[in-house]
Amino acid sequence: MERHIVTMVRNRALRYGTREVLRYKDAGGSYKSYNWQELVQLSNRVAKSLLTLGYGSKSNIGIFSDNKPEWTLADLGILATRAVTVPFFGTASKQQVKYIVNETRMELMFVGNQEQLDKALWLFDHTESLTKVISFDPGFNLANDTRCMGWHQFLGLADNGISDAELEKLLEQAEPDELATIIYTSGTTGEPKGVMIGQDNFMTAMLIHDDRLDVTDQDVSLCFLPLSHIYERTWTYYILHCGAVNVYLENPRKVIDELPLVNPTLMCTVPRFFEKTYEGILAEEAKWSSIKRKVFDKAIEIGYMHSEYRKNAAKVPLLLKLKHTIAEKVVLKKLRLVFGRNIRVMPCSGSAIRTELLRFFHATGLFVNYGYGASETTATVSCFKSDVYEFGSCGTVMPGITVKINEQGEILVKGNTIFKGYYNKPLETAKVLNDGWYSTGDQGDFTVNGNLVMKDRINDIFKTSGGKYVSPQKVELLLCNDPFIEQAIVVGDNRKYIAALIVPSFIALKAEMLKTGAKITNEASMIADPAVIEFFQNRLDLIQEELTSYEKAVKFTLLPEPFSIENEALTSTLKIKRKVILSRYAELIEKMY
């Protein structure tokens, strides 16, 4: 078993040599690439340059950048010196970055764009430890500051005498459980915590994914989720482990545009990606003729029936197989082209996904491999098997990982992927780590078939003033099943009834309102229109018929803009920051009571 990420990469380079490994878009918009030999040579130069500057074992070194090959080159170089990589989300605020720099006593940071560089320059005067910044782009304004250095100038330091043999000897001294990275949580529930992940955690993750996934050196993956997060970071290591090609997308907003150009076979996703894609498909379908819509709907219906057999690894009846062949040729294959010509698997995690949404994309013939995990578990705890899986669950537990549900209904996880603890926070660590078991804070259970179900964050479950416990996730997922609701968050802790903040799907809503002859101006005026409010009241009455009386949102308020990363209502992986939203809209919430 390989014991270190850098050793693993060097071994793959010996096998694959001049084969492509990293692909990216240059400033002119053309795709360029690095081969395996170049990957090792450049990451080794990063390591030698760091050692020349005096950084090495146990140094905490930051990467403050959006996705690009230099991110991984810097990461591998840091790890080759046995230092620790501390990533920042690309749009992190000055204060967020300052907190992490101060806590880790960080002295050196890599930055990716001018905005990140400007924040780093500010940090020189507002932190005590930061003394050096390396800019990935040498064309940025370094403000004639000797504490700043361009990428190529930095790499040039590698020529100052440290040999490959010295670098190799340093790596040989590494312990299997040596700290590799500190990944800071998004801070949705309070002060950010640095999750400490070791080399052994990552290398174990490689092996258990081999037992579960079908990824080969012929695959191409599009890297669009932030590398600062455990999900895309571990997946990137796994792509290297498998000898596949990783394509870096610096601007995640362009993912739909780039998919048909990159034509990946694989891509990590989050539920929000499918929500927006589904919304776009429905908006496009609304423009079609009635005949075309009927053909589309029939094809999807056949896809639903076919996927029921597929998920149980059951033999498809001959007649259905024939119908599916026609549906595939006429509709389904064309629909999947939105993801490129070659897509076959899309791992999905990060938050709850609506079962109906998952069923829809499986009906199109796309295998969305939904799973469950956390930073503290080095990503995957459970996911679908490729042959047998169960909608409404997070799949089966990964090989080598043990999961149990305690008396409070909380998911506990044990295995070699469990983190080392929270950096400089022993009390916080003690709250969640006990005898090797990690207390996730998530409520869950198992289905009769042994599939794990994550129900809600325990801290999010609230009790009404009538003493009834409510799972907000259950209600929110139900509301968001409606094509006219893009996002929703429900409240009701110690209140006499449930209320909801709702972000309409404005594309669908505008189309519906135009049918009534309503005059459409902007989002703010739409949500104040009595006809729109009545329309949503009718929708909620219909949607919530199956809920118990105390689970129903009795009142609601429509919001003019969606929750997003930019307005700090979503984390970097598009999970809702519940406390932020409740605080921001406190006045609107009070009006509903």
pLDDT tens-digit readout, 92-140: 889 999 999 999 999 999 999 999 999 999 999 999 999 999 999 877 6
For residues 521 and 581, membership in a common domain is answered with yes
For residues 314 and 439, membership in a common domain is answered with yes
For residues 441 and 486, membership in a common domain is answered with no
pLDDT for residue 510: 85
For residues 441 and 515, membership in a common domain is answered with no
| For residues 5-29, average pLDDT | 96
| For residues 22-44, average pLDDT | 95
| Residue 182 is assigned to a structural domain of this protein | no
- Give the CA dihedral 260, 261, 263, 267, nearest 10 degrees: -80
Instruction: Take residue 117 and report the two structure tokens written for it.
Output: 């560089």
Comparing 204 with 285, the larger pLDDT belongs to 204
Burial of 125 (0-12, 13-18, 19+ CB in 10 A): exposed
How would residue 58 be classed by pLDDT, with cut points 50, 70 and 90?
Answer: confident
For residues 334 and 466, membership in a common domain is answered with no
Q: Looking at the 3D structure of the chain, how many domains does it have?
A: 3
For residues 480 and 388, membership in a common domain is answered with no
Q: Are 266 and 275 within 8 A, CB to CB?
A: no
Cα 534 to chain center, whole Å? 36
pLDDT for residue 188: 46
User: Is pLDDT of 391 > 90?
Assistant: yes
| For residues 391-407, average pLDDT | 96
Q: Are 580 and 586 within 8 A, CB to CB?
A: no
| Residue 507 is assigned to a structural domain of this protein | yes
Least confident among 17-21, 142-146, 365-369, 402-406: 142-146
| For residues 28-36, average pLDDT | 94
pLDDT tens-digit readout, 420-436: 999 999 999 999 999 99
| For residues 395-402, average pLDDT | 97
For residues 82 and 147, membership in a common domain is answered with yes
Supply the CATH number for residue 27's domain.
3.40.50.12780
For residues 233 and 290, membership in a common domain is answered with no
Write the CA distances from 308 to 204, 383, 434, 467, integer angstroms.
Answer: 33, 18, 40, 40
| Residue 186 is assigned to a structural domain of this protein | no
Domain boundary residue, one of 457, 475, 496: 457
Domain boundary residue, one of 423, 440, 457: 457
| Residue 571 is assigned to a structural domain of this protein | yes
pLDDT tens-digit readout, 207-241: 999 999 999 999 999 999 999 999 999 999 999 99
Domain boundary residue, one of 425, 457, 489: 457
User: Is pLDDT of 376 > 80?
Assistant: yes
User: Is pLDDT of 186 > 70?
Assistant: no
| Residue 265 is assigned to a structural domain of this protein | no
For residues 236 and 106, membership in a common domain is answered with yes
| For residues 345-371, average pLDDT | 94
| For residues 194-217, average pLDDT | 96
Q: DSSP assignment, residue 332?
A: I
| For residues 320-348, average pLDDT | 96
What pTM does this model have? Answer: 0.88
User: Is pLDDT of 526 > 80?
Assistant: yes
Supply the CATH number for residue 488's domain.
3.30.300.30
User: Is pLDDT of 565 > 90?
Assistant: no
Instruction: Take residue 165 and report the two structure tokens written for it.
Output: 């043999």
Comparing 513 with 171, the larger pLDDT belongs to 171
For residues 494 and 398, membership in a common domain is answered with no
| Residue 208 is assigned to a structural domain of this protein | no
For residues 546 and 558, membership in a common domain is answered with yes
Write the CB contacts of 402 (distance below 8 Å, at least 6 apart in sequence). Answer: 413, 414, 415
| Residue 475 is assigned to a structural domain of this protein | yes
Containing domain of residue 563, as a range?
A: 461-591
| Residue 331 is assigned to a structural domain of this protein | yes
Return the residue matching tokens 């050793």: 7
pLDDT-above-90 percentage for the chain: 77
